[in-house]
């Protein structure tokens, strides 16, 4: 134990900064459960509506502009995309200390129904059957707040008993006096949800706001 009461091994301060600033790599896209990498390291997943800024947030979080693919076409990400620190293959005994998983965006009305159904099955099977999944960060666009399809996903996470945490994106796009009201309304909406982590994180990929808070939360989830 350290003086702060934290278990040894947790990343703090400069060690945490270096960890997230190191090169990260994409190791695989998973279109079906049989293609998942071996279970072992903790996994942190990112979910959100199409066009919520998920890829931009992952890129900003890891200081790599082109890591997660960004697109002006919502619904482009159709697989579970795995990212790990460089130097680990993710195969056999060469497992990384953590994997970040970019989940397919939801709520894209123009996607074919068969495609949406396939995404839904993949996501639910992953949520229900992945024992190494530590938390899902559910991204919510600050300009729009929680929408009906967001609440459906929260219900799915509650049903699967998977811990999740709300991350507000594009917080720089709303006027500063509106931020406390948004945080209060969002916290109130999830207070009785059984799998919801109570603390919210407000972020801006463009301005770098909240990224250190998000990194600190991920580091805590990496505890032995």
pLDDT (0 to 100) of residue 1: 28
- What's the pLDDT tens digit per position in 29-60? 998 899 998 888 999 999 999 889 999 999 99
Domains of the chain: 13-221 (3.40.50.300)
Terminal-to-terminal C-alpha distance of the chain:
12
Global pTM reads: 0.88
Bridge partners, residue 209, by sequence: 204
Q: Please state whether 161 falls in left (phi above 0), alpha (psi between -120 and 50) or beta.
A: left
Which stretch, 13-27, 122-136, 190-204, has highest mean pLDDT?
Answer: 190-204
Average pLDDT for residues 80-98, to the nearest whole number?
Answer: 81
* Residue given tokens 């697989």 in the structure block: 79
* Residue given tokens 């811990």 in the structure block: 163
What is the 8-class DSSP label of residue 204?
B
Strand residues in 72-205 grouped as ranges (E) = 80-85, 99-102, 133-141, 164-169, 201-202
pLDDT (0 to 100) of residue 8: 40
pLDDT (0 to 100) of residue 91: 66
Q: What angle do CA 126, 127, 130 make, to 5 degrees?
A: 65
pLDDT (0 to 100) of residue 51: 87
Residue whose C-alpha is closest to residue 54's, from 46, 45, 63: 46
Q: Which two tokens stand for residue 221?
A: 């989830």
Bridge partners, residue 84, by sequence: 25
Average pLDDT for residues 76-102, to the nearest whole number?
Answer: 81
What is the 8-class DSSP label of residue 150?
H
């Amino acid at each position: 134990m350290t003086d702060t009461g934290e278990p040894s091994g947790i990343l703090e301060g400069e060690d945490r900064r270096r960890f997230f600033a190191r090169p990260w790599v994409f190791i695989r896209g998973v279109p079906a459960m049989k293609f998942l990498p071996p279970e072992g390291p903790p996994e942190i997943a990112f979910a959100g509506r199409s066009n919520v800024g998920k890829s931009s947030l992952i890129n900003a979080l890891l200081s790599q502009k082109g890591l997660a693919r960004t697109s002006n076409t919502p619904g482009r990400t159709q697989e579970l995309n795995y990212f790990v620190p460089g130097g680990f293959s993710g195969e056999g005994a060469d497992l990384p200390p953590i994997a970040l998983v970019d989940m397919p965006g939801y709520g894209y009305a123009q996607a074919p129904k068969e495609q949406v159904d396939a995404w839904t099955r993949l996501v639910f099977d992953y949520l229900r059957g992945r024992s190494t999944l530590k938390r899902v960060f559910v991204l919510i666009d600050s300009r729009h707040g929680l929408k009906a399809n967001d609440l459906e996903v929260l219900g799915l996470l509650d049903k699967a008993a998977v811990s999740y945490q709300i991350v507000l994106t594009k917080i720089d796009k709303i006027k500063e006096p509106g931020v406390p009201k948004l945080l209060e309304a969002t916290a109130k909406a999830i207070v009785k949800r059984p799998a919801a982590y109570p603390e919210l994180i407000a972020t801006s990929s463009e301005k770098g706001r909240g990224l250190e808070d998000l990194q600190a939360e991920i580091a805590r989830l990496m505890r032995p």
